[in-house]
């Protein structure tokens, strides 16, 4: 999760002439009228962004996009970090969007970090996190190339522990 910046004028032009036409009355309308026009415009832009994500075949359960002026907020559940990143890029690489707030959740969660203590082995850490000592290679592979050998860890070292995979 985070906030990502994009170049507002660059990217796919999804909003076009309708947006320009809608901007004009906002300049002359009173503040309550302008706020209502802005809300309608932002809602229409959000719907177009949802359609764009779907067009690219990016599967997001419960996809919600909200837009406020040039900032988009993306919510939903995705199967992988790769899909999460692609969704952020599709939304952010749209002309008129300068920021994307990523509130997407990745299935299985994100990796956690573990600080090695004296007496730890990768097998012991695997038992703590996965319930199986045999999963030590998952931790080893997740920390390559920093780890050169499964037996060479030291107290104070921070390791990446990937989420438990379905078996």
pLDDT at 86 over 70: yes
Name residue 158's beta-bridge partners. Answer: 115
pLDDT at 144: 86
Q: 143-150: long-range contacts (C-beta < 8 A, 24 or more apart)?
A: 150/122
Neighbours of 98 (CB within 10 A): 17
- Structural domain boundaries in the chain: 2-106, 112-161
User: Which of the listed CATH numbers 3.30.70.260, 3.30.565.10, 3.10.350.10, 3.20.20.60 matches domain 112-161?
Assistant: 3.10.350.10
Size (the chain), residues = 167
| Contact indicator for 114, 11 with CB cutoff of 8 Å | no
Reduced to 3 DSSP states, what percent helix, strand and coil does the chain have, rounded to the nearest 5? 40, 25, 35
The CA distance from 75 to 1, in Å, is 10
Q: Which of 29-38, 102-111, 131-140 has the highest average model confidence (pLDDT)?
A: 131-140
pLDDT band at 167 (very low <50, low <70, confident <90, very high): very low
- Whole-angstrom Cα distance, residue 160 to residue 126? 12
pTM, entire model: 0.64
Tokens coding 148: 């050169």
């Amino acid at each position: 999760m985070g906030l990502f910046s994009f170049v507002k004028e660059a990217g796919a032009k999804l909003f076009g002439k309708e947006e320009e036409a809608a901007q004009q009355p906002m300049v002359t309308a009173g503040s309550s009228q302008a706020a209502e026009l802005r809300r309608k415009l932002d809602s229409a832009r959000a719907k177009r962004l949802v359609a764009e994500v779907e067009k690219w075949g990016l599967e997001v359960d419960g996809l919600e996009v909200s837009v406020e002026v040039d900032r988009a907020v993306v919510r939903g559940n995705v199967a992988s970090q790769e899909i999460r990143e692609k969704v952020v890029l599709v939304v952010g690489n749209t002309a008129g969007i300068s920021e994307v707030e990523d509130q997407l959740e990745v299935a299985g969660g994100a990796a956690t970090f573990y600080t090695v203590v004296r007496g730890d082995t990768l097998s012991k850490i695997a038992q703590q996190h996965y319930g199986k000592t045999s999963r030590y290679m998952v931790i080893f592979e997740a920390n390559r190339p920093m780890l050169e050998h499964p037996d060479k860890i030291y107290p104070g070292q921070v390791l990446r522990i990937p989420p438990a995979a379905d078996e």
